[in-house]
């Protein structure tokens, strides 16, 4: 047996360089390990403190913050000041980076921290002037509301100061090399103005209609208008042509699919004998969620629901007496005006035969690692010139935007009054201060009342057709004639039908004396909700939850037989024959495991391409909001025996159906293979809840820990699920809520993908699967259990 010494003698000696190389590798590994440990410790340190005690300057009394199993904070304070200060602190704990991005995006200051990539976006938001509008709104608020805004800001800043001092800021700040500035009341109002922008109006459709009349004859142009105008407009002959395509090429356009569902049923039709209410606002789906769920309790408040991060109060939810929810009305509150500029003075514009001086706002844009841009915004009596933020739009003519949300408004005032309301009269009184955006509110109270009301400043037009196109900025007769009086806005209390439902559908009949909008959502979600409610009794919470997940496709039920009947069956390939057979046997359910929803939605999209792609440039189709509704109307006209210029010029209805079908199948074969029966809707329709920093390659595994999950539903089903060209579902029910007024202290919620914005938190993506599967959690206004944090006044 060899001894160690003998082995040592016989072993070859290591060369010195190998020895040093191994030492170097060991040092590198050690340094990497130390770095990883440091990063890991740093990241964990930045997790919110949810237990123990924290001293905060400005508190008058001790505040309890209890986070339940879903990470929902239940804040209990002895007074309203402490309540809102604690709300600001807690929101910042979970969502500070989201709040920072939100105020920067709305204020047009992203380039300070991102660089040149966001300059055009900043120019657009500086042009709109959301922050200027928020600053103007401050003077309209009561002392009580200003106290709430100040206390909330103090709470946010208390967290910023604590996290900065103790190196506990969320890691996103380190990744971007920035630190958050102090939060101010105007920041909260600016974030609120951004939400009004996201739910906005229809200026882009006015611009598109203007483009149509500029490029096509009246018959062809009017066919794509949302409403066929009774009299031809004369404006095009009075001004120079505005190049819409180039002027708006960098405009930030809100998602066309922004909508919502809500409905409320009286106790006569429920199992409990008390009203039931459901709400699911359809907004962007991302990480963190656009909503933050909270429960706020003090002697003045006991309210639970959701709010946008960066804003005090609860915007949607319930208290111990009432519940409420919203959908977007979508009224014509945005109006483009064509302006005549003085050729001798570019800062003057014509109005009633006189030149008026515009207001010039200096908006210097700081750009990371680049020079500051000396940007200016020109604002006429109607609003900012929006056609020039990208480039000169015309020699003498420009477009301005008149928009109600750019006026001083008092939404937070309304929210705080609503939060304290105990009955319909108080609630409706609070709504009078909710000026923008206009929403369809449904309401229920434990006294048995159910109600509906549209809110907001909705302009009065002399002629409703005026809202279809830009108007003349130099004519007084083209000005709005005030706003629809609050008492005359659409409203109903305790209807005979025993229910009220809205889904961005047309909410008024032809006998309503005022114009609301030309642009309503396709009616299928609303019609399906009514189908599910009509004649039903003994309704329960579980029934409403099932309704929110309903995926029956009424658009397909209406149009697929017509589409198949005009499809040429000659020379069909094997895949095309298989697809036809599958479609003919479909139950019209947009189920993720079925092939037919994929075929139908791809076919509908292909029909639009066949009709519009060769005539309307891609950048203009981005302004063609409501194109689905318009295409439906064209198909209905042909189905009823009427002519359509667009369909005729595309070769007739059989040619349109056959060409679009062939293209659709060919593209799907290329993407998914030749076996049609193996294709599923889930192959092209999956939700991801992506984080804004996940596009940086190595960060994706941290910020997007879940693979995209196939989901059922579509843009036209009650279970709304809008998607982009990549098949990722990015719009839908950002919050689902059901309330049984027999148990007013309980709310049934889902906030996908979770409460926290910190990727190491247990509440980061814990509601992802629940959102996909339709599971809900209960949140109570009464005592609950969880992790408790005490906020105490600093000595």
Write out the catalytic residue numbers: 260
Residue 484 · residue 249 · CB < 8 Å: no
CA angle, 598 then 601 then 602, to 5°: 75
The label of the residue with tokens 């947009």 reads: 590
Annotated binding site: 332
- 490's tokens: 């659409």
- The Cα–Cα gap between 596 and 593 comes to 9
- The Cα–Cα gap between 384 and 392 comes to 14
- The Cα–Cα gap between 365 and 123 comes to 8
Residue 258 · residue 437 · CB < 8 Å: no
**Strands (DSSP E) along 404-554, which ranges?**
439-445, 450-454, 471-472, 491-493, 499-502
Annotated binding site for Ca(2+): 332
Residue 147 · residue 155 · CB < 8 Å: no
- The Cα–Cα gap between 234 and 277 comes to 47
The label of the residue with tokens 């004639």 reads: 481
**CA Rg value for the chain:** 29
Task: Assess whether the previous peptide bond of 753 is cis (omega < 30° from 0).
Answer: yes
- 740's tokens: 């049984």
Query: If you write DSSP's letter for every residue of 360-383 in order, what string do you get?
Result: EEE--B--TTSPPB--EEEE-SS-
* Alpha-carbon distance values, 66 to 45, 197, 217, 782, 786 (Å): 20, 34, 64, 12, 6
Residue 734 · residue 281 · CB < 8 Å: yes
Instruction: Indicate the burial class of 108 (C-beta count within 10 angstroms; 0-12, 13-18, 19 or more).
Output: buried
Using the Cα atoms of residue 510, residue 512, residue 517 and residue 521 in order, give the sign of their dihedral.
negative
Q: Return the HEC string of 170-214.
A: CHHHHHHCCCCCCCCHHHHHHHHHHHHHHHCCCHHHHHHHHHHHH
Cα first-last separation, the chain? 76
Question: In terms of Cα–Cα distance, which of 407, 409, 450 is closest to 428?
Answer: 450
């Amino acid at each position: 047996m060899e001894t160690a010494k003998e082995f040592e003698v016989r072993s070859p000696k290591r060369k010195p360089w190998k020895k040093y190389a191994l030492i170097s590798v060991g040092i590198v590994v050690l340094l990497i390990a130390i770095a990883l440990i440091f990063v890991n410790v740093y990241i964990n340190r930045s997790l919110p403190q949810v237990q123990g005690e924290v001293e905060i300057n400005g508190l008058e009394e001790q505040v309890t913050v209890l986070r339940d199993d879903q990470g929902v904070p239940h804040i209990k304070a002895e007074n309203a000041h402490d309540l809102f200060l604690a709300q600001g602190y807690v929101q910042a704990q979970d969502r500070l980076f989201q709040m920072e991005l939100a105020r920067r995006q709305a204020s047009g200051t992203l380039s300070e921290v991102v660089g040149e990539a966001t300059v055009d976006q900043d120019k657009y938001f500086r042009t709109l002037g959301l922050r200027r509008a928020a600053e103007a709104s401050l003077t309209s608020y009561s002392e009580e509301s200003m106290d709430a805004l100040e206390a909330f800001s103090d709470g946010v800043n208390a967290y910023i100061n604590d996290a900065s001092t103790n190196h506990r800021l969320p890691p996103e700040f380190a990744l971007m090399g920035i630190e958050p500035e102090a939060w101010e009341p105007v920041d909260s109002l600016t974030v609120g103005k951004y939400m009004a922008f996201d739910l906005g109006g229809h200026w882009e459709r006015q611009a598109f209609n203007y483009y149509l009349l500029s490029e096509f004859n009246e018959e062809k142009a009017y066919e794509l208008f949302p409403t066929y105008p009774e009299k031809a407009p004369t404006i095009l002959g009075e001004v120079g042509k505005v190049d819409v395509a180039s002027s708006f090429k960098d405009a930030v356009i809100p998602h066309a699919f922004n909508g919502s569902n809500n409905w409320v049923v009286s106790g006569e039709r429920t199992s409990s004998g008390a009203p039931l209410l459901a709400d699911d606002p359809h907004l962007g789906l991302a990480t963190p969620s656009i909503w933050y769920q909270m429960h706020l309790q003090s002697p003045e408040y006991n309210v639970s629901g959701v709010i946008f991060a960066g804003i005090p109060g609860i915007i949607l939810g319930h208290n111990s007496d009432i519940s409420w929810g919203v959908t977007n009305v979508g009224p014509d509150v945005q109006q483009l005006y064509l302006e005549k500029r003085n050729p001798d003075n570019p800062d003057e514009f014509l109005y009633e035969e006189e030149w008026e001086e515009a207001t010039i706002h200096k908006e210097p844009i700081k750009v990371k690692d680049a020079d500051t841009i000396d940007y200016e915004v020109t604002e006429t009596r109607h609003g900012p010139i929006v056609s020039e933020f990208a480039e000169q739009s015309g020699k003498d003519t420009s477009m301005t935007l008149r928009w109600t949300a750019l006026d001083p408004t008092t939404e937070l005032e309304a929210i705080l009054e609503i939060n304290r309301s105990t009955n319909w009269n108080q609630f409706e009184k609070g709504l009078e201060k909710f000026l923008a955006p206009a929403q369809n509110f449904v309401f229920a109270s434990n006294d048995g009342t159910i109600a509906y009301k549209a809110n907001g400043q909705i302009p009065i037009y002399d002629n409703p057709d005026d809202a279809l196109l830009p108007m003349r900025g130099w004519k007084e007769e083209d000005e709005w004639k005030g706003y629809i009086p609050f008492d005359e806005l659409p409203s109903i209390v305790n209807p005979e039908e025993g229910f009220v439902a809205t889904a961005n559908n047309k909410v008024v009949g032809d006998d309503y004396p005022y114009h609301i909008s030309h642009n309503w959502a396709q009616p299928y979600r609303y019609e399906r909700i009514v189908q599910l409610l009509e004649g039903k009794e003994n309704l329960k919470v579980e029934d409403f939850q099932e309704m929110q997940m309903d995926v029956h496709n009424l658009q397909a039920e209406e149009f697929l037989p017509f589409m198949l009947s005009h499809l040429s069956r000659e020379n069909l390939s094997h895949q095309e024959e298989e697809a036809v057979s599958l479609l003919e046997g479909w139950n019209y359910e947009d189920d993720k495991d079925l092939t037919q929803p994929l075929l139908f939605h791809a076919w509908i999209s292909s029909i639009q391409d066949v009709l519009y792609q060769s005539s309307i440039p891609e950048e203009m189709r981005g302004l063609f909001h409501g194109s689905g509704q318009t295409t439906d109307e064209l198909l209905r006209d042909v189905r009823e025996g009427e002519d359509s210029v667009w369909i005729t010029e595309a070769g007739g209805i059989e040619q349109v159906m056959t060409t679009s079908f062939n293209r659709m199948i060919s593209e799907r074969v290329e993407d998914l293979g030749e076996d049609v029966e193996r294709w599923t809707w889930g192959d092209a329709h999956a939700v991801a809840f992506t984080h804004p920093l996940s596009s940086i390659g190595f960060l994706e595994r941290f910020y997007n820990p879940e693979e995209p999950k196939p989901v059922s539903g579509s843009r036209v089903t009650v279970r709304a699920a809008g998607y982009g060209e990549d098949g990722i579902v990015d719009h839908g029910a950002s919050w689902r809520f059901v309330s049984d007024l027999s148990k007013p202290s309980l709310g049934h919620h889902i906030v996908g993908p979770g409460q926290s914005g910190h990727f190491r938190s247990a509440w980061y993506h814990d509601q992802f699967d629940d959102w996909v599967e339709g599971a809900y959690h209960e949140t109570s206004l009464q005592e609950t259990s969880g992790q408790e944090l005490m906020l105490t006044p600093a000595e």
